[in-house]
Structure 1
Amino acid sequence: MKGPVKTWLGSIIALGMVALLIGSIFEGNRIEKERAAAEQKQQPVTQEKPVRQYTPNEQAVSEKEAEEVAAPTEEMQTEIQKVIPEFLKVYVPFDVESPSDFLEQSKPYVTDNLYKALEQEQRRGTLTIVKTKLINVDLEPQKEGLQEQWWNADIEVEHTDQDGQTRASTLAYIIKVKLIDGKWKIDDLGVRSRAWNP
């Protein structure tokens, strides 16, 4: 009996040893893979990617150059503050008997484009107002520049109705001035609402 037990016992021990050997090989590979993965996580990825080159387009370059332009001089601002009121003195007044008087008088103060637009304008009196007289103009720069500027104008006026009664009022305008051939001229104007100046 000792012979077959020894044979079986020897076979079992041999199979156990082979199983341990195979198991240790698999376990060694698993540990090696985990170690390699841990090292890979610790090391930064150094793949070289092409660097994107930025070249500003023409618009961005021109906008940057525009930002670097010097501010308007005090002399420019003084000239503009003379031109706008002179224009308003001929543009704002209104008389129902001669509604187009403003047109020829405003010609020296406006650009050709604005003059053409004013030619199309037909001024009429209202049911109550037959005459408007300019009293005072307050100016405030809205957007300053070397070639064009925007100004807010608060214009005090006196309206006369059909019965000869007068009442004071304020007109709020926004006025665009443009440098044309070395002179500042009115290029556009419009009524300023709360949307322009809250």
Structure 2
Amino acid sequence: MGLFTDSYDLFCIPLIMRMIGRIYYPKVDRAVDQKKWFEVPTVIASTMFCVTLMGAVIGQLVFGRLGDRVGRRRVYGVSLIMMVGGSIGCGLSLSSLTSMVFVSLGFFRFLLGIGIGGDYPLSATIMAEFANKRTRGAFIAGVFSMQGFGILLSSLVSMIVCSIFEASANKHDLEKPSELASLVNIALVPPESDLAWRLILMIGAIPASMIYYWRMRMPETAR
């Protein structure tokens, strides 16, 4: 479940950026291609993508070393706590200033990335040490195959959450849309839409929270 959660958290962010752009950058410009309306600036979007990966690199180096020194079970639990805290923190990135929303989101995505980075080497190592020689390859392949299901779930959850909030968005449609009205109407995003992307991010904390107890109950590895 660890790598399942990792993939969910990593791959849900592209759609989140599209949703955030619609909410925080409601600019309608006839002179610009309609496809580029409501887009988060490229620099900001790229930063949001990169901070998680940067955190993952740091997490692999730090937690991998700590696991060898102080025990993998304890470090395994710490990385999971960081993943849960990072997911919840991303959803609680609240501010009246758009810039501060991204600062908060970037910080918690970085924290989340550190937890994800710690989960990757520890999951593979623990599985390799507990499995016997005959089943080791199959077990490790099974662990990493969960990434595909995490990616799939991130798309499904995003579609379901957006569909739920679609009814609320439809209430803001104008009764008699004209050409100008349709342009203005696109910018009328209901407050509930701001909850949708936060909910998608915080849902990532659910599977991680569910497995914390079992991680803490597992025996320490022999090596």
TM, length-normalised to structure 2: 0.23
Which structure carries more relative contact order (alpha carbon 8 Å, separation 6+)? 2
| Larger Cα-atom Rg | 1
Greater per-residue strand proportion: 1
